[in-house]
Structure 1
Amino acid sequence: MVVQDRRGGAVTLAVACGTGLAVGLLATGCSPDGAAAEDQAPPGRGAAVSEVQRSADALVRAGTARVRTAMETASGGTRVAIRGTGIYDFRTAGGRLRVVLPDPAGKPREGHQPITEILAPGALYMKNRGAGVPADKWVRVATASLDDGNLVTGGVTDPLTAAELLRGARKVTYRGAGRLGGARVRHYRGTTDIRTAARAASPRSRPALVAAEKGFTTDMVPFDAYLDDAGRVRKVRERFQFANGAPQGALVTSTTELSGFGVKARRVALPERSAIYAGRIASATP
């Protein structure tokens, strides 16, 4: 799918699927695990904004986490979702995820191996990408070269970048407490400004967020964030709006869930140069 950014340029949201590409993704409902709300003193508006803005720092202190992602796109009455699982290290800003591409009915696509994605500072590596790429080769993409900074293009939002985006949070409201994955969480809702987040981000995430300033209809990104008692993100849902010529544009929602903080994570080795595919990559849609 090709959409237009607010400057009139084209943005392609795609992940390879067979010989074609499967596009973006948007939110799966994000309420805490159906648990009853717990009594907590609601934070003041300033405290809520500050806690959300500092959540990326809390993740770096936590080190590692298990990750579940969901990205769903809604455009022209059609919804397509892509899901991923893996382990991420916030200290090194790297991780390895298994990404499953569904068919339009939402079921795993038959005959297609899951995509392996390696997330690293400044780069995204994909294996089993399809679209004419040999099965034993990796595709490398420089995230700063993408108009959205890879917030949605790869079908997975880098977990650290998703949290760093919250550094631009404003107009945050406290929506109540509950439990998520067994942990007590506080639910915050608000909007975050990509430009402000880019200025406040760590050096590892800043280039991607600077690039993302030009990829969306607006710099303002609505979000729902669920933080635990340590200030760590347990779940964050961010909604991105593109203008693709349709009256309502294309809406892409990225949801990231984190658990198992401190889980043992093996060092992720980047592919050797000889394993990187250097040929032309097809960009046809399925």
Structure 2
Amino acid sequence: MVVQQHRLRGGVCAAAAMVGVGVAATAGCSTGGDAVADARPPGDPVATVRNAADVLADAGTSKARTAMEMAAGGTRVTIRGEGGYDFRRTMGRLKVVLPKDPAGADEHRPITELLAPGALYMKDRGAGVPADKWVRVDTTTLRDGNLVTGGATDPAAAAELLRGARSVTYVGQEDLAGVRVAHYRGVTDIAHAARAASPQVRGALTAAAQGFAEDAVPFDAYLDDAGRLRKVRHRFSFVNQGRTVAVASTTLLYEFGAPVVVQLPAHRDIYAGQIRDGV
């Protein structure tokens, strides 16, 4: 796996620390087929990839699956999510499943995550939070802008991150779950993406640009004939507490137009107490 080295300033713990797993990681879903080389890409690769977020906003909604694979110190774990996303409102709902413990026992309940502009809401967060309460996190204050902290990259942020794409190569056509897609590979720049991002996502990406010492993030993006992003995989790497942590975040989008209902919790339902990490 090819990764770019990043250092997350301030020794911030990544995805697993936030959701209580206590480890971090790399990888993603398989492509679903070998690429067929094509010397004539459908349009300019850089412009096509950078436009992916706008096309998703036009598409409206979709169902989503996420996978965040992390590796550190010989330990490898995967956090998976599934739900739906509204790209016009930049809001979504995911059920995030944490990995089993080393003994094989599944001791973690799934976490419900609501994704909204500038905020992440989590229920069944554990760590001393009452079962009927939500935890709210301001994503514009997170060192990674919630690209990895919540255990699932916000689908809108995953697409908006491509606005900073450069050095993009058209790999070829592939089959992805029965859909013919164009495969692009390149590197995106977080700081550039933050400047070009839509207002709803700009704050979180700006935080990520400030939190990572380097901005280059390798990616693989798969777009259908309508230009809709069907799958994207970003590869992050940073140093946390003296250890290099590699994280590969994969977002899979399908069933465009599917109904997506996201209702944010009332203020009285948000937990205001102290959260114990690592529980």
TM normalised by structure 2 equals: 0.91
**CA separation in 1, counterparts of 2:213 and 2:99?**
27
Residue matched to 2:3: none
Aligned partner of 2:208: which letter?
A: A
What whole-Å deviation, never above 9, does each CA across 1:9-36 have from its counterpart, x for those lacking one? 1212145799x434444222432x23x6
Q: Does 1:64 align with 2:61?
A: yes
1:204 partner SS: helix
What whole-Å deviation, never above 9, does each CA across 1:111-133 have from its counterpart, x for those lacking one? 43210000011100000000111
* 1:152 pairs with one of 148, 157, 163: 148
**Contact between 1:73 and 1:79, CA under 8 Å: does it hold in 2?**
yes
Q: Does 1:232 align with 2:237?
A: no
**1:176-255 alignment runs, 5 A limit:** 176-244=172-240, 246=242, 249-255=244-250
1:12 partner SS: coil
Residue matched to 2:277: 283
Residue matched to 1:26: 26
Q: Does 1:9 align with 2:10?
A: yes
**Contact between 1:52 and 1:166, CA under 8 Å: does it hold in 2?**
yes
Structure 2 residue ranges without an equivalent (≥5): 1-5
Q: Does 1:96 align with 2:96?
A: no
Aligned partner of 2:247: which letter?
A: V
**CA separation in 1, counterparts of 2:18 and 2:240?**
22
Aligned partner of 2:56: which letter?
A: L
What whole-Å deviation, never above 9, does each CA across 1:71-119 have from its counterpart, x for those lacking one? 0111111111100000100000001110000125596x52432100000
1:205 partner SS: helix
Count of residues in correspondence between the two structures:
275
Query: After TM superposition, where is structure 1 displaced by more than 3 Å over at least 4 residues in a row?
Result: 5-8, 14-18, 20-25, 36-41, 104-107
**CA separation in 2, counterparts of 1:130 and 1:17?**
11
Deviation at 1:39, TM superposition (A): 7.8
Residue matched to 1:263: 258
What whole-Å deviation, never above 9, does each CA across 1:232-266 have from its counterpart, x for those lacking one? 1111000111123557x211110000000011222
Aligned partner of 1:10: which letter?
A: G
**CA separation in 2, counterparts of 1:245 and 1:24?**
12
**Contact between 1:216 and 1:240, CA under 8 Å: does it hold in 2?**
no
**CA separation in 1, counterparts of 2:245 and 2:103?**
18
Residue matched to 2:41: 43
**Contact between 2:133 and 2:271, CA under 8 Å: does it hold in 1?**
yes
**1:63-82 alignment runs, 5 A limit:** 63-82=60-79
**CA separation in 1, counterparts of 2:231 and 2:256?**
13
TM normalised by structure 1 equals: 0.89
**Contact between 1:82 and 1:101, CA under 8 Å: does it hold in 2?**
yes
**CA separation in 2, counterparts of 1:142 and 1:17?**
13
Deviation at 1:215, TM superposition (A): 2.4
1:136 partner SS: coil
